[in-house]
Structure 1
Amino acid sequence: MANNKLLVDERQTDLGNFMVGRLLPFRKKRQVGPFTFIDHMGPAKLGNGKYIDVDQHPHIGLSTLTYLYEGEIEHRDSIGSNQIIRPGDVGFMTSGKGVTHTERTPQYRRNGEEFTAHGYQIWVALPKNMEEINPHFNYYPSTEIPTWQTDTLTFRLVAGNAFGKSAPLQGYSPLFMVDIFAKKATTLKLKGQIKGDVALVIVKGTITNEEQKVTAGQMLISKTNDECEICLDANTQLLLFGGEPLPQEHFLLWNFVSHSKDRLKLAKEDWINKKFPKVEGDKTYIPFPKL
């Protein structure tokens, strides 16, 4: 592997009924553009009493982006949003000064039948001047996601601007996220198609970069933003993402992101003292963890 690339393996975390693989942040790279956190959920078999049930928890200073390949997640939050996110949809919750939400398997899927859950949850840090905006939720059904094909590749522009196209979801700073599937072995050329930091997560299949094989569950980050060509094996799927780095360094504390460590401490105290807004009708509470 050339020394201008970083290769990251998922670190497995047990999240109740299924395993989650964490890709960002990691020691040598805290952010890729404004992207500051990536969890790979599944693929996992659910049903027969095993479901996604992420209880009430808080966020500040970021937007959560939920993107699924299989299964459904019901998103509910303290500003009154209630939305089922299905494969190909994009859920985008901006926490701003503070929001609480839950993520669960919808009630109609809790019928004992087995099904697969598979997707990604991604955090996008807000610029300094927008960290304290009012929280809100945006939903983009799969039918609104720009999709196009070449002879060998299918593209879905999940967010931002890339390959001369624009997604309905633009975010709050220059970024891109593209879902790419190779029907047969091909070369993906990136030069002039994207701007800023560049990274890609292998969802399934294999890519070859400078004679190094990169497989499902790994992330490849360009340290020099000059990633120009990637060879994809047949039936390979990847998420290409990145964008312009934010001017200020951003820090993480549990579910909170901010340029200010004091603001993170205040959010921690507010959650412990139960000062955050609540999801209507939900009495659950995830305690602040021992870090």
Structure 2
Amino acid sequence: MSNLSLIIEERAADIGNFMVGRLLPFRQKRMVGPFAFIDHMGPANLKAGENLDVPPHPHIGLSTLTFLFEGSIIHKDSLGTEIEIKPGAVNWMTAGKGIVHSERTPNYLREKEKTLHGLQIWVALPKDLEKMDPTFSHIEKDEIPQWENDGVSYKLIAGKAFNKKSPVPVHSDLYFIELKSTKRQKISIGKHLYGESALYILEGKIYNENHSYDPKQILVAKDATLCEFEMEENTTIYIFGGEKFPEERIIHWNFVASSKEIITEARERWKKQEFPKVPGETDFVPLPN
């Protein structure tokens, strides 16, 4: 009996002047634990003058997790944050009742050739925290718990697992873990996981019960506690999941909420430009129909 309940293929999506691979939400699986949305950015080889420019746009009811493999992004938000994120670091922005942010290529790279590659993730907030005040945290690469076990290197990017805790200030029980292999290796980590669980293959290959799985796929487990598989050598995967919320979440544009009323209110606020502004930014992403 296979422990896989669903295989999700990466699907192309347009985020303005940039194409990404959309992984979540998926029509048969809207969320995995509190994880509501995952985009795989790139790898995009950008020419001189070709840049990432996502103008100010709003969020409510979620935390964003930005994790880069290559390249650099300047994050600016309505709290007054302005910070450059580089590979291996984590930007963790909690929108709560409302935040606005922009994401752009840094000035020093705009007229150079560069590569941009990473993951952008939304984690829904528990119902009692949906309307909390917004916050922002930046965690440097060397602050992330890292360890090795039998030829596999692990990073606990966010959450709790393996009796370890990431410094990323999450708001519910979850985990986001990187595994990198140097040799073909059997992995059995079910006892360290909880709630719902899924596995994203960035590069390499995974074997599970006489089947092989390739990059740009998410494998959703039926039971996190049965998580066993083999990694091919030079494979990188991300395992994510956690405890599911008792209530459904509505995902509409950049908003995540437990009710349609909260979404409608956020739409009206953005339409009337009542969200806080990002200092130094004048343009914005208009509300879609």
TM band (smaller chain): over 0.9
| CA apart distance, 1:170 | 4.1
Q: Distance in 1 between matches of 2:51 and 2:82?
A: 18
Q: Distance in 1 between matches of 2:52 and 2:143?
A: 26
Aligned residue runs from structure 1 range 17-32, under 5 A: 17-32=17-32
Aligned residue runs from structure 1 range 6-21, under 5 A: 6-21=6-21
* Matched residue SS, 2:190: coil
Counterpart position of 1:232: 231
Q: Relative to structure 1, is the Cα distance of residues 136 and 5 closer, same or farther in structure 2, using a 3 angstrom cutoff?
A: same
More off after superposition, 221-230 vs 143-152 = 221-230
Counterpart position of 1:45: 45
Deviation per residue, 1:226-260 (Å, 9 max, x gap): 43211110110011100001121111110000101
Detail structure 1 runs of 4+ shifted over 6 Å in the superposition: none
Counterpart position of 2:192: 193
TM-score using structure 1 length:
0.96
Counterpart position of 1:120: 119
Maintained 8 Å contact 1:198/1:240: yes
TM-score using structure 2 length:
0.97
| CA apart distance, 1:80 | 0.5
| CA apart distance, 1:110 | 1.5
Unaligned runs of 5+ in 1: none
Counterpart position of 2:88: 88
Q: Distance in 1 between matches of 2:212 and 2:50?
A: 35
* Matched residue SS, 1:117: strand
Counterpart position of 2:144: 145
* Matched residue SS, 1:287: coil
Indicate yes or no: 2:76 matched with 1:76. Answer: yes
Maintained 8 Å contact 2:201/2:237: yes
Aligned residue runs from structure 1 range 1-291, under 5 A: 2=2, 4-112=4-112, 114-290=113-289
Maintained 8 Å contact 1:6/1:220: yes
| CA apart distance, 1:16 | 4.3
Maintained 8 Å contact 1:175/1:243: yes
Deviation per residue, 1:158-201 (Å, 9 max, x gap): 00111221111141110000111011110111121111111011
Q: Distance in 2 between matches of 1:50 and 1:192?
A: 46
Maintained 8 Å contact 1:198/1:227: no
| CA apart distance, 1:212 | 1.9
Maintained 8 Å contact 2:3/2:221: no
Deviation per residue, 1:23-81 (Å, 9 max, x gap): 11111111111100000000110131111111110000000000010001110000101
Maintained 8 Å contact 1:182/1:234: yes
Give the letter for the 2:185 counterpart: T
Maintained 8 Å contact 1:17/1:50: no
Give the letter for the 1:71 counterpart: G
Unaligned runs of 5+ in 2: none
Give the letter for the 2:138 counterpart: Y
Maintained 8 Å contact 1:186/1:232: yes
Q: Distance in 1 between matches of 2:235 and 2:63?
A: 28
Give the letter for the 1:261 counterpart: K
| CA apart distance, 1:3 | 7.3
More off after superposition, 93-102 vs 148-157 = 148-157
| CA apart distance, 1:213 | 1.5
> Size of the alignment, in residue pairs?
289
Maintained 8 Å contact 2:77/2:99: yes
Identity of aligned residues (%): 47
